[in-house]
């Protein structure tokens, strides 16, 4: 399928149509219109997937928009690739730190569970 309705995306990603419209209002998605119907492209679908994943990781909508804007600027030739790569590297470092924190927290939880079971 090359295009999607709002209902298609809502069902696939288990979100409300209201949430998708909110992301559109925040300029994170840009569907075309056919009358009153929104028609979402593959690009919109990928962006929605990235939005939801990024939110689960704790990124704000502002941070997500910033990444999308940076990517769009590089694609349009308005920003040097080096600047984009530097920004991605900083995001990677932040996510690696979060990953380490999550692993440590999971280890602590496992230890507390083991202690609780012994009691």
What does the pLDDT look like over 27-72, one tens digit per residue?
Answer: 999 999 999 999 999 999 999 999 999 999 888 999 899 888 888 8
Q: Which residue has the tokens 């939880």?
A: 109
Q: What does the chain come to in residues?
A: 119
H or E stretch at 69: helix 61-75
How far apart CA 65 and CA 70 sit, in angstroms, is 8
Mean pLDDT of the chain: 92
What domains lie within the chain, and their CATH numbers? 1-58 (1.10.1660.10)
| Cβ atoms within 10 Å of 100's Cβ, excluding its own | 10
Rounded distance, CA 19 to CA 23, Å? 6
C-alpha span between 55 and 75 (Å, rounded): 24
Task: Please report which confidence band the pLDDT of residue 1 belongs to, taking 50, 70 and 90 as the band edges.
Answer: low
- How many whole angstroms separate alpha carbon 34 and alpha carbon 107? 51
Closest CA to 52 of 90, 93, 22, 73: 22
Provide mean pLDDT across the span 82-98: 87
């Amino acid at each position: 399928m090359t295009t999607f309705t709002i209902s298609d995306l809502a069902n696939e990603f288990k979100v409300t149509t209201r949430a998708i419209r909110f992301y559109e209002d925040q300029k994170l998605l840009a569907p075309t219109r056919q009358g009153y119907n929104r028609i979402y492209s593959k690009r919109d679908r990928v962006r929605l997937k990235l939005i939801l994943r990024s939110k689960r990781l704790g990124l704000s909508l502002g941070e997500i928009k910033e990444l999308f804007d940076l990517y769009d600027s590089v694609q349009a030739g308005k920003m040097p690739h080096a600047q984009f790569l530097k920004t991605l590297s900083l995001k990677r470092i932040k996510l690696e730190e979060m990953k380490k924190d999550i692993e440590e927290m999971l280890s602590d939880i496992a230890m507390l569970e083991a202690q609780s079971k012994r009691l």
